[in-house]
Amino acid sequence: MPTVTDVFLFLISLILPPLAVLIMDGCRWMFVLNIILCIFGWFPGIVHALILCIGGWHSDSALIEHRRY
For 43, residues 6+ apart whose C-beta sits below 8 A from its C-beta are none
Identity of the residue numbered 29: W
CA distances from 12 to 5, 38, 69 (A): 10, 14, 23
The stretches in the chain having pLDDT less than 50 are: 62, 66, 68-69
Q: Please tell me the distance from the alpha carbon of residue 58 to that of residue 40, in angstroms, as a whole number.
A: 22
Residue 42: count of CB within 10 angstroms of its CB: 11
Cβ–Cβ under 8 Å, residues 55 and 15: no
Amino acid symbol at 53: C
| pTM of the full structure | 0.74
- pLDDT at position 56: 66
